[in-house]
Amino acid sequence: MLIRPALQGAVAGALATGAMTTVFEAGSRQASHRHPPKHMVRAHLPGRGRSEKPRTGENAATGAAHLGFGIATGALFGTVTGRRRPARSLGVAYALAVMFVGYQGWAPKVGALPPLTQDSPGRTTTLAAAHVVYGWTLASTLRRMRRP
C-alpha cells in the first residue's frame, strides 16, 4: 500500500521545505534578490509585469505554492522509496534533479526566471544549496520515520 509512504513523504517534504526556505531567505538577503518561488508566483498572478511593487496576496500565495510543491515533491519521493529508509545522498540527488527540471525546464518556459545557465551565479548557488538542504532533510526525516 502506497498511502503511508506518500503521507510520510508529504510530512518530510513539508519539513524539508521549511529548512530550504531558510536557505533561500539567507541567500536572498546576501545576494539582494527575491527568492525563486516569488518569481514563479509573480509570473502567474493577474497584472503580470515587471513592477517591483508587491501585489496583494503575493507573499501568501508564494508561501502556499512553495509549501504545496515541497509537500507534493516529498510525497512523490516517499512513494518511490516505498517503506525503505532512503540514503541521504539519494534525497540530495532527487532534489537536485527537481531543481534542474524546474529551473532549467519549466520555469524559463513560463517566463518566471532565466535558465540556470543564464541566471546570476549568486541565485544559482543559492538554489543549489537550498535544494541540497531540502534533499538531505527529506531523506533524513524519512529515515527517522521508517526506523526498523
Instruction: Tell me: pLDDT of 13 over 70.
Output: yes
Counting the structural domains of the chain, the total is 1
Long-range contacts of 40-46 (CB under 8 A, 24+ apart): 40/65, 40/107, 40/110, 40/112, 40/113, 41/65, 42/112, 43/110, 43/111, 43/112, 44/110
> pTM of the full predicted structure?
0.86
Q: How does the average pLDDT of the chain come out, rounded?
A: 86
Domain presence at residue 138: yes
Instruction: Provide the domain limits for residue 110.
Output: 3-40+61-145
| Whether the Cβ atoms of residue 124 and residue 33 lie closer than 8 Å to each other | no
Domain presence at residue 12: yes
* Per-position DSSP letters for 77-140, written without gaps between them: HHHHHTTS---HHHHHHHHHHHHHIIIIIIHHHTTSS--GGGS-HHHHHHHHHHHHHHHHHHHH
Domain presence at residue 97: yes
Report the pLDDT averaged over residues 8-36.
Answer: 83
pLDDT tens-place string over residues 43-65: 666 665 555 666 677 778 888 88
pLDDT tens-place string over residues 107-143: 888 887 889 888 888 888 888 999 999 999 999 999 9
Domain presence at residue 139: yes
Domain presence at residue 108: yes
pLDDT tens-place string over residues 23-41: 988 876 665 555 667 666 7
Domain presence at residue 54: no
Domain presence at residue 112: yes
Q: How confident is the model at residue 2 (pLDDT cuts 50, 70, 90)?
A: confident
Q: Is 8 exposed, middle or buried (0-12, 13-18, 19+ CB in 10 A)?
A: buried
Domain presence at residue 137: yes
Q: Rounded distance, CA 113 to CA 54, Å?
A: 17
